Amino acid sequence: MAGNIQSVGVIGAGQMGNGIAHVCALAGFSVMLNDVSAERIKVGMATINGNMARQIARNVITENDRKKALDLIKPADTYDALASCDLVIETATEKEDVKRKIFSDVCVNLKPDAILASNTSSISITRLAASTDRPEKFIGIHFMNPVPLMELVELIRGIATDDATFETSKAFVGKLGKTIAVSEDFPAFIVNRILLPMINEAVYTLYEGVGNVESIDTAMRLGAHHPMGPLELADFIGLDTCLSVMQVLYDGLADSKYRPCPLLVKYVEAGWLGRKTKRGFYDYRGEKPVPTR
């Protein structure tokens, strides 16, 4: 089972990729971390180091755990550095053409029995698998953000995914100490099928003037006991990602209830994507976040 996965390749050293590398290394897997530039890999490694330091401060891991884990992560500047990996997980931006290009480029470098996975939060696993040379060894392994803290991983089989790939992936996720929810391959799977329309509805509530940013977030934090208000959460996820997932739901299910709110589109057009660009439904450029509406 997970015994035959010893080395993991991670494509993308951003928020999701460095989190996945982090948990894999702590679980004892050797990790090859790839991105489009050495600089991005360096930033990803620095983030992992910082996040592990925080775990030490909270007594989640020891200094020795961190040292051992960091030694297991190596930079992979090119795809051929992933040649020995037993499992390769793609964590690129939520755009299907970008993911397809990565898969067609990386496949030629992988050993024949390597499993290929996507961390997509919404795109059809069956369609992505069809752009590879190994649809039966392709699977969706969707981690939640932030990866080191979140307990859940969604496992999604494409129509061609074979049982061995599914069982091996299941055992691998178990070894990371995560809990699995198995989802059918329908747009946005389980978590985002429920979560993103809620966020989109919160944006409509703002758009229609039912409440301002602060009142909407306070209402859901204190009235529904959500740890974070939906607009604050949208900023954390990234408004571009929220829009991409809503678009996948709208296109894939052709139901008007999934229509992305025009205000969400407007924010993305403005480049106000949330925390990562310092502005979204809140402005993060000052000492504390200030609502932008």
For the segment 42-83, what is each residue's pLDDT rounded down to a tens digit? Answer: 999 999 999 999 999 999 999 999 999 999 999 999 999 999
Q: Which CATH code for domain 194-291?
A: 1.10.1040.10
With a cut of 50, list the residues of the chain below it in pLDDT: 1-2
* CATH 3.40.50.720-classified regions of the chain: 2-183
121 is catalytic: yes
Q: What is the pLDDT of residue 1?
A: 40
**Distant-in-sequence, close-in-space partners of 278: CB < 8 Å, separation ≥ 6:** 284, 285
User: Which is catalytic among the residues 142, 183, 232, 244?
Assistant: 142
Q: What is the pLDDT of residue 70?
A: 98
- Are 190 and 154 in contact by the 8 Å Cβ rule? The answer is yes
59 is catalytic: no
The span from the CA of 140 to the CA of 64, in Å, is 32
The span from the CA of 103 to the CA of 107, in Å, is 6
Q: What is the pLDDT of residue 251?
A: 95
192 is catalytic: yes
Q: Is 124 left (phi over 0), alpha (psi -120 to 50) or beta?
A: beta
Dihedral over Cα of 31, 35, 191, 128: its sign:
negative
The span from the CA of 217 to the CA of 292, in Å, is 13
Give the residue from 264, 144, 150, 274 showing the smallest Cα distance to 197.
264
User: Which is catalytic among the residues 7, 34, 119, 121?
Assistant: 121
User: Which is catalytic among the residues 7, 122, 124, 154?
Assistant: 154
183 is catalytic: no
User: Which is catalytic among the residues 122, 192, 200, 244?
Assistant: 192
Query: What predicted TM-score, i.e. pTM, was given to this entire model?
Result: 0.92
Q: What is the pLDDT of residue 179?
A: 98
First to last CA, the chain: 51
Q: What is the pLDDT of residue 4?
A: 86
* CATH 1.10.1040.10-classified regions of the chain: 194-291
The fourth-level CATH superfamily of domain 2-183 is NAD(P)-binding Rossmann-like Domain (3.40.50.720)
The span from the CA of 284 to the CA of 281, in Å, is 10
Give the residue from 55, 264, 28 showing the smallest Cα distance to 146.
55
